[in-house]
Amino acid sequence: MTATPETTIREIVASDFRTAAIFQRFGLDFCCNGCRTVEEGCREAGADKDAVLRELDAVLETPASTAPRFAAWEPGALVSYIVANHHGYVRQAIPVLLERTRKIADVHGAGHPELVHIARLFGRVADEMIDHMAKEEGILFPFILAMDEAAASDTPLPRPPFGTVENPIRMMEQEHRFVGDAMAEMRELTNGFHAPDDACATYRVCLQELDAFESDLHAHVHLENNILFPKARAIEQGGRS
């Protein structure tokens, strides 16, 4: 595809996930706010639109030999990938980050009071993500797969217990936004997860892990908001994306 100022960010990243790194480097949200056009995103982030488009063109014009084309995947494959890779990562990372954010807040909080707030904020992120993933795996994802199976076999779609699949999707998107905003606040409080000169090894490692957690979150939310959920909406409306 060709990126233009009017192309939405989600369309570009869905077409080629390699472009996510460009949007992230320029400070453009490609997951929760992926519905914005490139021009809108650049204006909001204060980024050079022409520079963004040049870098996007350079990537999009280069054949991708190994980058997954997630937009072409069926819902079942997407769900399996999300649960195994992203949900699995979050469940492993949360206990470690809960311990480390609390530890550095206790040790360094007097000199860096933002760490106390970060520890509390990550505690809210952890609670939200644990509950969020349980709802996806127990309710929303199985229903999406049941719809997809019915559509593939040309049988009536299952009746949703929540009125329409749009209702739980909207709730999941709101929860994505909360967690994304919380991580963005932590990034701002730490100057881009950059450790100060007096930081100990644990302090530095914790910030690196928070940075990795946010990067994984962006990829995770992109797959759901921009690829899986639109496919679910399309199935319910009578088509296959």
pLDDT per residue as tens digits for the range 181-202: 999 999 999 999 999 999 999 9
**pLDDT for res 66:** 62
Q: How many CB atoms lie within 10 A of CB 98?
A: 16
pLDDT per residue as tens digits for the range 154-174: 999 999 889 999 999 999 999
User: In the predicted model, is pLDDT for residue 124 greater than 90?
Assistant: yes
**pLDDT for res 67:** 62
**pLDDT for res 241:** 43
Rounded-to-integer distance, Cα 194 and Cα 27, Å: 16
Rounded-to-integer distance, Cα 121 and Cα 118, Å: 5
pLDDT per residue as tens digits for the range 12-65: 888 887 888 888 889 888 877 778 899 999 999 899 999 999 989 888 887 766
**pLDDT for res 133:** 97
Nearest 5°: phi and psi at 8?
-75, 150
Rounded-to-integer distance, Cα 10 and Cα 22, Å: 13
Average pLDDT, the chain: 91
Q: How far is CA 144 from CA 35, 139, 174, 179, in A?
A: 22, 9, 18, 23
Query: Which residue from 33, 54, 210 is spatially nearest to 121, judged by alpha carbons?
Result: 210
Residue 157 DSSP one-character state: P
- Compute the C-alpha angle 225/234/166, nearest 5°: 60
Which helix or strand (DSSP H or E) is residue 97 part of? helix 88-108
**Percent of the chain beyond pLDDT 70?**
97
Query: Which residue from 188, 207, 186 is spatially nearest to 196, judged by alpha carbons?
Result: 207
Tell the burial category of 171 from Cβ atoms under 10 Å away from its Cβ (0-12, 13-18, 19+): middle
Residues 53, 5: contact at Cβ < 8 Å?
yes
**Percent of the chain beyond pLDDT 90?**
76
Residue 73 neighbours by CB under 8 Å, 6+ apart:
81, 227
Residue 2: pLDDT band with limits 50, 70, 90 = confident
**pLDDT for res 65:** 60
Mean pLDDT over residues 208-224, rounded?
Answer: 94
The structure's pTM equals 0.81
